[in-house]
Structure 1
Amino acid sequence: MPVNPTYPGVYLQELPSGARTIAGLPTSVTAFVGRFGRGPQNVPVRIFNQGDFERSFGGLDRDRETTYAVAQFFQNGGGDALIVRVAPGGGASDVILQDDANVTALTATAGQQIGDASVENPGRWGDNLRIDVDHAASDPVTEFNLSVSEVRREAGRSLVLRTETFRNLSMTTTAANYAVPVVNDGSTMIQLTQGASANRPVPTGTQGFGGADPGAAAAGDSEIEMTVTTGTGGVTEPLAIPAADMPATMGQARSLLESLIRAARPTDMMWSQASVQLAGGALRVLLGRTGADYDPEAVVSFADTTGDLGANIGLVGGGVTENVQQYVVGSGSPATAFRGAATPGVDDTGATALALAGSRAARSGIFALEAADVFNILCIPEASRLDGPGAITNLTQVMAAAEPYCEERFAFLLIDPPPDVDTIDDALGWIGDLAAAGLRHRNAAAYFPRLRIADPLDGNRLRSVGPSGAVAGIYARTDGAFGVFRAPAGIVASIRGVGDLDYRLTDPENGLINPEGLNAIRVFDNIGTLVWGARTLEGSNILSPDWRYIPVRRTALNIEASLLRGLQFAVFEPNDERLWAQIRLAATSFMSRLFRQGAFQGASPRDAFFVKCDAETNPQADIDLGIVNVLVGFAPLKPAEFVILSLQLMNLQAET
């Protein structure tokens, strides 16, 4: 800050250097827009590996082409992806949580909080969610605990995939532990909404029985019958209590009851793995949940047959709160009066051009990426499957929206050939149709043929998939190993996990599609499956050569985006030589780093690039309009696409 001298002495003032640093942006963040079995819709979610993908979006799905593209991306070297799920026609599972008087307390819907918004997560996956409510809280009368679990039935057992627990929740809206924001902010599985009742009731616990001091029971043997009623009927077992084991406290009653229930049916896991909890003076019976016969809507009830212990500790008679074991999100058939109605989830009805292209106003489809800071590559694999044989009407609709959006966001688009494009004639016809539709763009590339990969969901039989996911992975792998300026093709661009191709190109056939700007994927003996082309869709021989090659275009995009972001400091600064010098210094430093990495032609920086921002580029007329003109040029590296070997015989002449 400026020094204000008021007394004789030495003052210290720290001055800024004036140097600005421009950091290069990433080059291979890949966005996938398509259908997935689960996940928030029209929200870009960043993932870094296949495990993230499976947890957030369900992994491979044989009915959803994009899931295979994401798997191929990570298998081939990708490490940073944005997933945008479109789910046309899909609906989210929900369930109503009620109090003992059948009044709606809360509605739980499959979804999660993204930023400041509560986003539904459509699909039948939500039907696998279970919610437990109990009152073993700090204040059992006004507070409750809520647990959410996702389960999967596997080999006759319930496998719990993940669980979230929220304790000491309140229904008072002004309380710090108010259930709705606490759960909504913390859960990745459900979102809560408050019921319409003005008194904000507390949801009932799942299976509670009121209790009293068991010591008041009459001496002597006692027998209680416990019945478990499921969707297939009821099972009743007697629980005999000898007089010598008569409990004196509710804690002893809990322990005794648990051991009797487990011993009653040792081969039935609903009984043998049951537990009894004591909360707020009430007993809660939880059945074992791993057995083949477990039913979350099972109801436990008790009856006295001899003695009065059952009635005394609240298992029968007044104070009984009979409810199902768990609230089942998405189950549509209430089992008891205290089990809230639910709506099953609905899977999406299939990809459509409108859903994939989306709307900028609604931030849906590809325009959901407006919420993403940066992405470099865009893949829309299911767009290639929207049309019937020989047609590209819907593909054109999607790509006509994607190409200008990629140009706007400094990104590169990969277009997959449709499944019926499986001969050289089909490929030439398809690339001609793209040209006729006006889809030849410098920010796009296409590859032929489609890949055949082992499908783990179909006994590892080969499945035809578009190459965009694998190619995007190779882009990322090449960028990491060499730089964005290196062509993602050739010997270093082997495709992993490919069993075969839909069509095997020969050299002459490769020579037909390469001049058209369609990149080949080839199989070479003893080498493998390689990407064998590096042209943009504007790379046809009859078009301008400036943006013919993918690495040249992607290098330019990275420079443009990095400088655009890095020069923001200049906005509103005084427009004079001092500002121009700062701009020159920052831009030159950035370009010099790229030169040292080998991004440009030329033996010296002077040969490789220039940065010009001075009085010549900024006449007074532009200064008066508030304009600063910066001119940056570079000599790009272009791939050696054709290697020509000349061989000449050399004749030796006899010495004389």
Structure 2
Amino acid sequence: MPEYLAPGVYVEEVSFRAKSLEGVPTSTTGFAGATRYGPVYFPGAPKAAAPRLITSFTEFERVYGGLEDVAPDGVGRINYLAHAVRAFFLNGGQRLYVSRVYAQAAPGVDGGTGEPTYAGCARRAINAGGGLTATWYARWPGRAGEVHVRTEAVRSKNVSYLDDEGDVQARRARDGALVEIIAPGDPIPVGNAPLDADQLAVVTQDADGKQSFSDKNGNPVLPAANAIIQLVEARVTVAVNDERIDVTQELGLHPAQRRYIGHILQQDDPEDEDSTVWLDWDPEPPGAPVPSFLPALLLIALQANPSPRLAGGDDGSTLIDADLAGEPASLDDADVKATGLEALAEIDDIAIVALPDAVALADVASGAAALIAHAERCRYRIAVLDAPRGSSMNQVREFRGLFDSKYAAIYHPWVEILDPNERPTQGAPQKRLLLPPSGFVAGIYARSDIERGVHKAPANEVVRGLTRFEANINKPRQDVLNPEGINALRFFEGRGNRVWGARTISSDPEWKYVNVRRLFIYLEHSIDKGTQWAVFEPNNARLWANIRRMVEDFLYVMWRDGALLGDKPEDAYFVRCDRTTMAQNDLDNGRLICLVGVAPVKPAEFVIFRVGQWTADAQK
């Protein structure tokens, strides 16, 4: 309790109400798989290699590349994950974490030096003179990193002036700045004209702000009073594709500059977090001091680069189930990050997970098993599974029979779309693609949660962005699939394409429906996060009453929103936290036990009307 030591007035804040529970998000989704580009851990990778939160498909294209095929081992295949992301946002999804999976085709560390070789990253080495090399690297591996990098020299207008002592100085030029000194009568270079080392000088600024200039030999330069001095900076233009060109302006060439090129375009924390390239530049040759003219040599070399396109990008090796499952972060080395599904496990907000690239495995079931294991281990998320392409009725039933989990649901058949990579030509039909349904279904999960709530079964919902389903599932076929927990995607005349099933793949009838499983995930996760304040509080009746009121208030709102069954709150839920739920042994061992029971609403899966004949004089 507070201490009262000196006479006076003490004003204290107290609480007369129970704490409140806030519901966790239920529509945040996580995908793992191969992409053309983007953040992924590999030896020597930038520190920002964690899965990125994506809120639109345009953002996905900027970070992870477009819909074009990926080519592991040089063999092109459909970019299933990118198409799934497009389908997710098209069907109402709003928040998506993407964990890129990349299997290096070459070792990532040079066995001789132990230095990273950035295997799979496109690059272009440039000789800067004096035994120094500047290298442009793609930040992430992949053939999409073979971008076009052009460096230009940008000249300002004449910045010379005379100070109080009559010495020539340069406006805006700070320590390490590069300037071009043009003698009176000489032609004035403009634009991106090739740099002439004989006209360049590096500025040195003393403690009083007095400038001096040094030439390529390190000798001082005394510009004439009427000489023209132009401040020279770098502009880097990166042409990623026909639709994206990144331009970085006003770059300095010396570490003392505020916008030093080695800082703005660095590997770990560039100015633009989605920057596609970084400059590997070590200005200290072994055993020799840094030449003062080095900034000029660097810009001259970058401007004159005869091969501006990066080369050597690689999409890696063909993925296996272990790649998709991933590896956890190292406990001993903070630089070794988690990969694959393990990287998604570190993100608490994710409630829906899918593995679109599992269908590209030689054994699709192994990928599905890894996804189910991930969802069960993380507890607070549900897995959306894809059956193999072209599965017949018996094949999809056989595939479903391999699993039993209350944390997963399977959807069938695949979805056909018009290939967005092709532009339609007159008189020729546009190419079609077959895609696994998980991206579409995950978007529908999110849309249903946002519009209705997690208690609403994500079924009888329209599937957007398709031409047709791979196979026609009619009622007799669904009579076989539905009891086995295989959710059908069906076409209804006049009602369009819809999800027509809401069952998990659990053999436990208590967890038959997807919405019931997800409702309990929402409830359990919300209580988990919202009651962390109670840990180490005095375990007495005051704490028990506070927790009871907090959980009851939360469940009352859920009942009022239609998530719980019952005409009255007491019919919909109960909360017990007192000496009936805890023995003395529990109290002695620091355990507080709260018993919560809820009556979830189940979907009206079978709507039955019983119709009979009625005569006018019959009695009711």
TMscore range, shorter length: 0.7 to 0.9
- What residue number does 2:59 align with? 52
1:495 counterpart (451, 454, 463): 463
Please state if 1:80 is matched with 2:108: no
Please state if 1:485 is matched with 2:455: yes
Query: Shift of residue 200 of structure 1?
Result: 5.0
Matched to 2:146, the amino acid is D
**1:78-103 superposed Cα distances (whole Å, 9 cap, x missing partner):** 11111111122361122345534241
Query: Shift of residue 325 of structure 1?
Result: 5.1
Please state if 1:30 is matched with 2:29: yes
Contact 2:325 2:370 in 1 (8 A): yes
Q: Residues of 1 paired with 2:618 and 2:315: CA distance? A: 86
2:432 counterpart (462, 483, 508): 462
- What residue number does 1:360 align with? 328
Q: Residues of 1 paired with 2:277 and 2:550: CA distance? A: 48
Query: Shift of residue 190 of structure 1?
Result: 2.8
Structure 1 residues 554, 145: closer, same or farther in 2, change over 3 A?
farther
Structure 1 residues 89, 12: closer, same or farther in 2, change over 3 A?
closer
Structure 1 residues 177, 152: closer, same or farther in 2, change over 3 A?
closer
Q: Residues of 2 paired with 1:503 and 1:58: CA distance? A: 31
Query: Shift of residue 645 of structure 1?
Result: 1.5
Structure 1 residues 424, 322: closer, same or farther in 2, change over 3 A?
closer
Please state if 1:163 is matched with 2:247: yes
Please state if 1:126 is matched with 2:145: yes
Please state if 1:384 is matched with 2:472: no
Q: Residues of 2 paired with 1:560 and 1:467: CA distance? A: 28
Q: Superposed, which structure 2 residues align to 1:104-119 within 5 Å?
A: 104=133, 106-111=134-139
Contact 1:21 1:586 in 2 (8 A): yes
Contact 2:352 2:442 in 1 (8 A): yes
Contact 2:417 2:466 in 1 (8 A): yes
Query: Shift of residue 125 of structure 1?
Result: 2.0
Q: Unaligned regions of 5+ residues in structure 1, if any?
A: 112-120, 209-320, 332-343, 388-393
Matched to 1:56, the amino acid is V
**1:557-616 superposed Cα distances (whole Å, 9 cap, x missing partner):** 111111111111111111111221222122222222212211110112211112211122
Aligned residue pairs, count: 496
- What residue number does 2:416 align with? 452
Query: Shift of residue 28 of structure 1?
Result: 1.0
Contact 2:415 2:469 in 1 (8 A): yes
**1:198-219 superposed Cα distances (whole Å, 9 cap, x missing partner):** 54564556775xxxxxxxxxxx
Please state if 1:509 is matched with 2:473: no
Q: Residues of 2 paired with 1:523 and 1:166: CA distance? A: 57
Query: Shift of residue 624 of structure 1?
Result: 1.1
- What residue number does 2:109 align with? none
Contact 1:478 1:484 in 2 (8 A): yes
SS at match of 1:636: coil
Query: Shift of residue 381 of structure 1?
Result: 1.0
Matched to 2:53, the amino acid is R
Query: Shift of residue 163 of structure 1?
Result: 1.9
2:238 counterpart (150, 164, 183): 150
Matched to 2:589, the amino acid is L
TM-score w.r.t. length of structure 2: 0.74
**1:370-414 superposed Cα distances (whole Å, 9 cap, x missing partner):** 442320111111112212xxxxxx333323332232123211101
Q: Residues of 2 paired with 1:484 and 1:533: CA distance? A: 16
- What residue number does 2:446 align with? 476
Q: Residues of 1 paired with 2:354 and 2:558: CA distance? A: 27
2:587 counterpart (618, 623, 633): 623
1:65 counterpart (80, 91, 98): 80
- What residue number does 1:269 align with? none
SS at match of 1:456: coil
Please state if 1:533 is matched with 2:497: no
Please state if 1:416 is matched with 2:498: no
Matched to 2:411, the amino acid is Y
Q: Superposed, which structure 2 residues align to 1:564-579 within 5 Å?
A: 564-579=528-543
Contact 2:252 2:260 in 1 (8 A): no
SS at match of 2:605: coil
Please state if 1:594 is matched with 2:593: no
CA RMSD in angstroms, aligned pairs only: 2.7
Q: Residues of 2 paired with 1:580 and 1:192: CA distance? A: 59
- What residue number does 2:277 align with? 190
Q: Residues of 2 paired with 1:416 and 1:602: CA distance? A: 36
Structure 1 residues 463, 135: closer, same or farther in 2, change over 3 A?
closer
SS at match of 2:567: coil
Q: Unaligned regions of 5+ residues in structure 2, if any?
A: 42-49, 70-77, 106-119, 156-172, 179-201, 205-231, 330-336, 425-429
Q: Residues of 2 paired with 1:592 and 1:603: CA distance? A: 12
Matched to 1:588, the amino acid is E
Contact 1:44 1:371 in 2 (8 A): no
Query: Shift of residue 452 of structure 1?
Result: 0.7
**1:157-191 superposed Cα distances (whole Å, 9 cap, x missing partner):** xx65222336335336xx87665444332242234
Query: Shift of residue 51 of structure 1?
Result: 1.1
- What residue number does 1:227 align with? none
Which piece of structure 1 moves more, 503-512 or 82-91?
82-91
Q: Superposed, which structure 2 residues align to 1:260-275 within 5 Å?
A: none
Matched to 1:478, the amino acid is S
Q: Residues of 2 paired with 1:654 and 1:370: CA distance? A: 65
Structure 1 residues 649, 192: closer, same or farther in 2, change over 3 A?
same
- What residue number does 2:395 align with? 426
Contact 1:75 1:473 in 2 (8 A): yes
Q: Residues of 2 paired with 1:607 and 1:557: CA distance? A: 21
**1:436-455 superposed Cα distances (whole Å, 9 cap, x missing partner):** xxx22101001111111111
Q: Residues of 2 paired with 1:358 and 1:507: CA distance? A: 40
Give percent identity, aligned residues only: 33
Query: Shift of residue 329 of structure 1?
Result: 5.5
2:571 counterpart (595, 607, 626): 607
Q: Residues of 2 paired with 1:648 and 1:3: CA distance? A: 80
Structure 1 residues 600, 147: closer, same or farther in 2, change over 3 A?
farther
**1:399-435 superposed Cα distances (whole Å, 9 cap, x missing partner):** 33322321232111011111131x3233223223x2x
Contact 1:601 1:608 in 2 (8 A): yes
Structure 1 residues 207, 608: closer, same or farther in 2, change over 3 A?
closer
Matched to 1:58, the amino acid is G
Please state if 1:398 is matched with 2:367: yes
Contact 1:151 1:160 in 2 (8 A): yes
Q: Residues of 1 paired with 2:54 and 2:262: CA distance? A: 27
- What residue number does 1:39 align with? 38
Q: Residues of 2 paired with 1:386 and 1:357: CA distance? A: 12
1:103 counterpart (119, 128, 132): 132
Query: Shift of residue 352 of structure 1?
Result: 2.2
Matched to 2:349, the amino acid is V
**1:108-138 superposed Cα distances (whole Å, 9 cap, x missing partner):** 4222xxxxxxxxx111222214152648663
Contact 2:409 2:505 in 1 (8 A): yes
SS at match of 1:109: strand
**1:231-270 superposed Cα distances (whole Å, 9 cap, x missing partner):** xxxxxxxxxxxxxxxxxxxxxxxxxxxxxxxxxxxxxxxx
